[in-house]
Amino acid sequence: MAELPDVRFLTVAEVAQIMRVSKMTVYRLVHAGELPAVRFGRSYRVPESAVTEVVQRPAADVG
């Protein structure tokens, strides 16, 4: 049997808490394709590495 990579998945609520945004914002990011997620039944799980990448991404200059 092949070795599975050591990936940790977070719930939408956990992602929202880490990113300091609402759960709805996390859902919008997932549906827009800006945050990869896997659907387990009726809920989404987001790889922890994807959250780290999004948080560390530089913000766009506005104005």
Higher pLDDT among residues 4 and 45, named by residue:
45
Distance CA 31, CA 58 (A): 21
Residue 38 resides in a domain:
yes
Per the structure, how many domains does the chain have?
1
Residue 63 resides in a domain:
no
Distance CA 4, CA 11 (A): 20
Sign of CA dihedral 18, 44, 47, 6: positive
Average pLDDT over residues 1-15: 84
Residue 41 resides in a domain:
yes
The pLDDT tens digits of the residues spanning 15-52 come to 999 999 999 999 999 999 999 999 999 999 999 999 99
Sheet holding 38-40, edge to edge: 9-11, 43-47, 38-40
Domain residue limits at 30: 9-56
